[in-house]
Structure formats: C-alpha cells, structure tokens
Amino acid sequence: MKRTRNVKVVATLGPASDTHEMISALHAAGADVFRLNMSHGSHDEIRVKHDIIRQIEKETGSTIGILADLQGPKLRVGVFAGDSELLVEGAPFRLDLDEAEGNASRVCLPHPEIFAALEPGASLLVNDGKIRLKVKDCGPDFANCEVVIGGVISNRKGVNVPDVVLPLAALSEKDRADLEFVCDLGVDWLALSFVQRPEDVLEARKLAKGRAALLSKIEKPSAVARFEDILEVSDGIMVARGDLGVELPIQNVPPIQKRLVRKCRAAAKPVIVATQMLESMIESPMPTRAEVSDVATAIYEGADAVMLSAESAAGSYPIDAVRTMDNVATEVELDPTYTQIIEASRAADRMTVADGIVAAAREIAETTNIKAICCFTQSGTTGLLIARERPRVPIIALTPLAKTAGRLTLSWGTNCVVTERLDRFKKAVVSAVRAARDEGYAEPEDMVVVVAGVPFNVEGSTNILRVAPCDESLIFSADPD
C-alpha cells in the first residue's frame, strides 16, 4: 500500500483492535507495523492476531511488519491486609522478604536481587513514581526507607530502581517461552524490555537464532549510560519514554530522545519513539495540541517510526488515533523546514564502498528528475543505508527474502517488495523499474536509480549503481547483452 509519507506508524493491537475488520481498517488508516504486546494475551490469542495480519498482507499485497514486545521482568510489591495503605511523607517504611500481608509500616518486596544491589541513599519508585522512597539502611533481605513522596500504595504495584544496575537478566522464564513462540510464529521484530547492558541483547540474539531482528527498549538510566554499546549489538531501538520519565527527571527525557534518535540514524538502525504520544485519544476522538506537537517533534528529529500503545490497543478511537498519526506525519514532511532539519543532520562519516554508493544515489536523485531509488538487498543493510541518507525521493527495497522485507517496514521511507531471486544485474534493473511502475512511483517515461551488489545474493556487496529508464525497451536497446 503506497504511503504519502516516510515516517512509519506502529500500532499496538489489543482488545479494541483484535478483529480482522479492525486490523484491516488500521492498516488502511496508516499503520505500517503492528505491535503484539506479550504482557497481555495467551499464545493462542497472539497467534490469531498474527494470522490476521498475514492474511491482510495477502489481501492487500502490502508488506506489514509485526513487532512482538516481550514483557521483561516485572518488579512488584506484595499485597496489603487492607488492599492499600496511605504512606505519609517523612514516615518510615520497610520493604522485606516476609510474605505476610503488608500494612502502613511495611510490605513484602519478593525480589532478593533488588536488596542485593541496594545501597543507602538509593531511591525506590512505586506505582510509576507516584510514591518515592529513599533507602536509609539495607541488608540482603530488607530495606528500611523514608517516604520522600507519599500517597496510596496498593497491591502488586510496580517498583522502579533507577539508581543501580540490577543483577537481573532481561529475559524472564516467561520471556524465553514467549520468544521461542513468536520466533516460530514468524514475527519480524522482537522488542526487548528491561535492557540494562549489551549482554542482555546478546543473550536474546543467541535464543532468536536470526529468526527475528532485535529492538532494544531504552527505558532505564543504565541503558542510556551504555547506549553506544547497546546500539552496536541491536538491530533497532525503541525510546520508551514512559519508564525513562519515571526513572529520570522528566526534563531530562526530551534531550535524551533527541540524542538517541540522532545516534540511531548515524548507525543506520531504525528508531521508534514511543509512549503516551496521543494518550488523550484513549477516551477522546481529538488529541490535545501538546500531543500533536510531541508527535511532530519526534518526526522533525528524524525518527524512523512513531508508536501508539493503549490508544490503538484499548482506546475508544483506535482508527482515529492511527489516522491522526498519519496526518501529522504527512503534514510535517510537507514543511520545507523538515527537509532542512533532516538534511542538516545527515551523517557525514562514510567509510565503505556501500556508504559511497548510497550517498551517490541520493545525490543523483536529488539533482536530476529521478522518481525513486531502487535497491536490491539480501540482509536489509543496503536499504538501511539508503534510509539513513533520507533522500527526497521514495526508496523501493527489493529482496527475495520475506523476512528482510518485514524488517525493513520499520525503516524510514522504505517501501518493501518481495521479488524473485536474481543472478544478473540487467534482470535486477528490469525488476526494479517494473516495481517502480507497479507501485505507482514512476511512469514509463521516467527514470530511477538502481543500487545493487555484484555478485548477487551475497550480503554486504553493494558496489554498483545505474540510472535506468522505466521503459524496458530502452534498457535492452542500451545494453543488449
């Protein structure tokens, strides 16, 4: 399905969007990638959603990406005798391993790994930071705290520990089972929660065995501190601003978002900006002006994709939320200032032949009347490199591998076409111009740039560029062999 904008829209599926009719409508409204939240729903329910998406792919002839978001370890307090208690600022409060029901002075925190990492002075945040505790003294099975910010604490509320790197694996037993299930199912991307260090990503990569690309969610201060190392071993990044805004001072999040987006682009790896982008549309058909500005800011920064969570999964207006994302992205990309910002932030470091080829393709496309840049890609790397250039013309990525096409659905401006396996460059040129015409990007009298690697079907061999007419008879008359 041809889009009129380059940034991609990711929509989370849930109870408000779990039928064939609704998912099809979301795709028509602008959703390019669907997120399956593994925190909710059984494997059977996830399988149904996956199968519906693949069926819609066949019906529309589109390539639709599927992102499975693993839950990660969940840190929660235990239960209270009265279901909840009011914590008063300045009062003492104890966390321990005693499974007895809690009261106004203590509650169970059934995570000895937290106590092992705590030190006096560390902060503990409960219920998305609404309650803040400061550790006064601690041991292997307890932490005596002072209530810094009080409020009502209730059963099984989540706990964040922003000041320390916890000795926890990013993958719980549930995550490992979910990972195996969705990889066998055939999802394109895996989103990893609770990433603190590059080793967390490497562990998931061993388990995935190449069956899905890995997207690291940056939601902890420790991940921000080691971002370059995490980025190096990841295939993509999600800036998960919800947890970042809990564990860091809220004013720190916007500059972190901007910095991470630029680093991802320089590395030619897709980056999603996520969390609370159109939060009011869970209950309202109209977003706030601040939310629209927030979405626009992520697009101006150069993000590959913007994401809806509860807005499309559980909200009352999922189609309106997707359509709003689509409209905002389209309008921003029509702004001449957007082009100026994107081009001014283009990475200048080019170290390989492939870097030079894709940069030349962009230069040719922007200085002549070229309608599209067509690239042949085995692993997806060439498509990612062209997307990093942010050309002013559409990118058509042709690949014989459906999984490569699926992974490129997250990449800025990339339109994915699954083609037959080719062994000659001339056949590639013909296939490229046919795709450009069939997808509605060019007419027979137009020209396209074709980028490929020779020998064919070898990863990392991008080394050839040709400007080709979209009239096939001209291709053969100019190069009859």
Whether the ω angle into residue 455 lies within 30 degrees of 0, i.e. cis, is yes
Q: Distances from the Cα of 147 to the Cαs of 94, 109, 133, 411, in angstroms?
A: 10, 16, 5, 45
Six-digit token string for 37: 């939240």
Query: Looking at this protein, which amino acid is placed at residue 25?
Result: A
217 catalytically annotated: yes
Q: Residue 395: which H helix or E strand, with range?
A: strand 395-399
d(CA 71, CA 56): 26
The one-letter amino acid code at 263 reads: K
Q: Are 309 and 12 within 8 A, CB to CB? A: yes
Measured torsion, CA atoms of residues 258, 260, 263, 269, in degrees rounded to the nearest 10: -120
Distance of CA 271 to the CA centre of its chain: 6
DSSP string covering 399-414, please? ES-HHHHHHHTTSTTE
HSE-CB for 301 with a 13 A CA cutoff: 26
Cα dihedral 147, 151, 154, 156 in deg (nearest 10) = -60
Q: Which of 47, 74, 76, 174 does the annotation list as catalytic?
A: 76
5, 157, 217, 388: the active-site residue? 217
460: left (phi over 0), alpha (psi -120 to 50) or beta: left
Continuous H helices in 335-394: 336-344, 353-367, 381-389
Contact present, 33 and 344 (Cβ < 8 Å): no
Query: Is 265 one of the annotated active-site residues of the chain?
Result: no
Residue in 35, 205, 241, 269 annotated catalytic: 35
| SS3 state of residue 77 | coil
Examine the residue annotation and report whether 275 is marked as an active-site residue of this protein. yes
- Do residues 387 and 413 make contact, with C-beta atoms less than 8 angstroms apart? yes
The catalytic position among 275, 381, 409, 462 is 275
Task: From 170, 239, 260, select the one nearest 208 (Cα to Cα).
Answer: 170
Helices 289-300/253-266 angle, 10° precision = 30
Residue 53, class by beta-carbon neighbours within 10 Å (0-12 exposed, 13-18 middle, 19+ buried)? buried
Count CB-CB contacts under 10 A for residue 278. 28
Among all residues, which ones are annotated catalytic?
Answer: 35, 76, 217, 275
